[in-house]
Structure 1
Amino acid sequence: MLEDLLQYENEEESSDVKQERFSTVRSRELGEHLRRVRRQTNFKTGQLLEMLEWSAGKLSKLEKGTRGTSPCDIAFLLGALNVDLKTREQIIALAEESDTGSFLRLHHCALDTLPALLVDEDEAVDITSYDPVGIPEMVQTEDYALALIDDPDLVAARMRRQRPPKGFLGRRMTVFIHESALAHVVGSTWTMRDQLLQLALLAGSADTSIRIIPRSCGLHVALCRPATLLTLDPPLRPVVHVETDVATVFHDDPGIVEVYRNKMRQIDRLALDHAQSRELLAQWSDRYDTPEPRPGGAL
């Protein structure tokens, strides 16, 4: 019986390859939820596969989001893992969503723990981000982030996002920052000084580009709203996420992604070049270079 099933799974996996069934941002999110649930149990992988009579390939594809999932498969897996009713209902609801290329995920006050975000950031080979009023979260210092969201757990999650589990090798990042963000004091002048020094340090690295949009360029439609574009290795499609106060919207529909690619191209034309950006960062850093003691009396 098991040998026949494994043969069937191998044929099914081969069929998947022929059909070139690739994952989407929503299917990878669902797979990440399944992976987390499995890791929270005491089941060994081999023990689980034997119980389900599944191949390792089938389980791997489900957790990577590269396999079409059926409600039967997911219910079978969650039942075997003895998942509680609330979690089971949440995952089944995710599985039953229509994959339209866009979806919204609610959050508390920041997006830093959303599985849909984390799984794709870890795989991204290029990140392009813009914020019209603040420093984008991927280059914030810990003190700057804490002054903004006042939640140590979320700040810790944000700092982990800045350190990808696979390391920085091969991942590029371009961060567009409006000059107004350099003028807005977040926390204290020491917080701003440390933040600008970190930006200047990052601007000198090989894998990170810090570009400043000067206030002199005036208002442009591309500058009105924030966005982040994640580029993944093909055949995975690029992903865009846009944060609001209570939710983040994700897109991987090619037509919508192209709108945001054009947005970033327009911002690129408005931004200062690398040398000019570093010079402006240095000027703003000097403005925050104050002899006043740090909070708590430290020098």
Structure 2
Amino acid sequence: MEDREPTVRSRELGEGLRRAMECGGFHASGVARELGWSPSRVSRILSGKRGGSSHDVAAFIAICGVRGDERERLMALSLDHGPGWHVHHNPALPRRVRTLANHERHANGIECFSGGVVPELLQTRHYAAAVLEANPNVPKWDIAERVGVVQARQRHFEGEDAPGSVFYLHEFVLHTPVGGAALMSEQLHSLLRRSVRPTVSVRVVPRTAGAHAGMTGAFSLVNVRDFKRIVFVDGETVSHFIESPAEVGAYRAVLRELGRVALDEVRSRELIAKLATKLYGVLDTLPR
């Protein structure tokens, strides 16, 4: 089987096999020896450059002792390595979060647009919990874990060596009182603190812009090291990982247009600060 350009699904399969290998106490050389493969063959499957057949994957995970739901997930991934991936959710923590977080960890840049809520990578703990609590499809017992996952994803974008990130959000987001005045004050002041970091750009699309390119919905464009750009679009029951160059190009065009109509970073901070005081006016009264 010839090498090919990795896809989101082949990379997800490779990451799953790598976790299985590590949990089974193996190194790549040990798996190669057990299966009678060359070390390079194992390396290419783990990197997503070579698609493993269902027979190969079944043999790999059998050696590593993978069973149950994870075995079914990896076997399903082995059946189709084509570009693009539509991930259906289940009531528990959606597996799309693991896939998205993995690509974010390998990202050297990300651009996001959100017109309804603060982007997850900028949400405070209280704001994230309030958004999840408002969703009838999120089990109450699962909220704390989901908030923890959001905060873990955020840590990759902190520090001097963090990848560059650009966030476009509509002014409507700042006016929506998620969780009350104290919570929103905390969230807007957090936006202000994050926006002055050298690797972070926060830009507001003002209400006066009227109709704009992002009206079709929120999305994230992730530049992945040693891979390619992908677009992530989240939905209530299914999420989409888009990697076709033509489709990714369409989202890049939306981002260019948003960059044209959005306030610059300084004016965005001024608006956020003004609304934090005018609309909410309370800070640091939430429990820690």
Q: TM over 0.5: same fold?
A: yes
**266-275 vs 73-82, which deviates more?**
73-82
In the alignment, structure 1 residue 107 sits paired with structure 2 residue 94 = no
Which residue identity is paired with 1:31? G
Structure 1 residues 112 and 191, CA gap change in structure 2 (3 angstroms):
farther
Give distance in 1, aligned partners of 2:160 and 2:238. Answer: 28
The CA deviation at 1:221 is 4.3
Q: Does 1:218 align with 2:210?
A: yes
Report whether the alignment pairs 1:209 with 2:191: no
Structure 2: where are the runs of 5+ without partners? Answer: 134-142
After superposing the two structures, state which structure 1 stretch, 82-91 or 271-280, moved more.
82-91
Alpha carbons of 1:278 and 1:111: their partners in 2 closer, same or farther (altered >3 Å)? Answer: farther
2:256 counterpart (254, 262, 265): 265
Shift of 1:153: 0.2
1:266-288: CA deviations, max 9, x gaps? 11111001111010011012122
C-alpha separation in 1, matches of 2:51 and 2:179: 47
Q: Select which of 247, 260, 266 maps to 1:275.
A: 266
Distance 1:182 1:133, change over 3 A: same
Partner of 2:72: 89
Q: Distance in 1 between matches of 2:203 and 2:213?
A: 18
Given that residues 178 and 184 in structure 2 are in contact (C-alpha distance below 8 angstroms), is that contact kept between their aligned partners in structure 1?
yes
State how 1:21-40 maps to structure 2 within 5 Å: 21-40=4-23
* Corresponding residue number in structure 1 for 2:186: 194
Residue 197 and residue 85 in structure 1: after superposition, are their counterparts in 2 closer, same or farther (change >3 A)? Answer: closer
State whether residues 31 and 64 of structure 1, in contact with CA within 8 Å, keep that contact through their aligned partners in structure 2. yes
Matches within 5 A, 1:147-186: 147-150=130-133, 151-164=143-156, 169=161, 171-186=163-178
Between the aligned partners of 1:226 and 1:50, the Cα distance in structure 2 is 46
Task: Tell me how far apart the structure 2 counterparts of residues 102 and 247 of structure 1 sit (CA, whole Å).
Answer: 13
SS at match of 2:241: strand
Preserved CA contact (<8 Å) 1:105 1:249: yes
How many Å separate the matches in 1 of 2:260 and 2:9? 32
Cα–Cα, structure 1 residues 177 and 66, in superposed 2: closer, same or farther, change >3 Å? same
Q: Secondary structure at the match of 2:155?
A: coil
More off after superposition, 268-277 vs 165-174: 165-174
Identify which of 271, 284, 289 aligns with 2:281.
Answer: 289
TM-score between the two structures when normalised by the length of structure 2: 0.87
- Give the aligned partner of residue 137 of structure 2: none
2:221 aligns with 229
What is the rounded CA distance, in whole Å, between the counterparts of 1:284 and 1:166 in structure 2? 25
Structure 1 pair 165–222 and aligned structure 2 pair: CA distance change class (3 A) = closer
Against the structure 1 CA distance between its residues 111 and 173, is the aligned structure 2 distance closer, same or farther, given a 3 Å change threshold?
A: farther
Query: What is the RMSD of the two structures over their aligned residues, measured on CA atoms?
Result: 2.5
Pick closer, same or farther for the CA change 1:24–1:220 going to 2, 3 Å.
Answer: same
Residue 240 of structure 2 is aligned to residue 249 of structure 1: yes
CA distance in 2, matches of 1:221, 1:33: 36
The aligned amino acid for 2:268 is S
Q: State the distance in 1 between where 2:129 and 2:72 align.
A: 34
1:135 to 2:110 alignment: no
Quote the Cα distance in structure 1 between the aligned partners of 2:158 and 2:196: 22
Q: Is the 8 A contact 1:223 1:267 kept in 2?
A: no
Query: What residue number does 2:105 align with?
Result: 122
Gapped runs of 5+ residues in structure 1? 1-11
Q: Deviations over 1:163-222 (max 9, x none)?
A: 129966151000001111001011121111111111111111110000001111112243
Alpha-carbon separation, structure 2, partners of 1:166 and 1:195? 17
Structure-to-structure mapping, 1:29-68, within 5 angstroms: 29-43=12-26, 46-68=29-51
- In structure 2, the residue matched to 1:146 is 129
Q: Is the 8 A contact 1:124 1:231 kept in 2?
A: yes
> Is residue 132–residue 224 contact of structure 1 (8 Å, CA) maintained in 2?
no
| Corresponding residue SS for 1:210 | strand
Tell me the secondary structure at the aligned position of residue 219 of structure 1: coil
| CA displacement at 1:229 relative to structure 2 | 0.3
TM-score by length of 1: 0.84
| 179-188 or 41-50: bigger deviation | 41-50
Higher CA-based Rg: 1
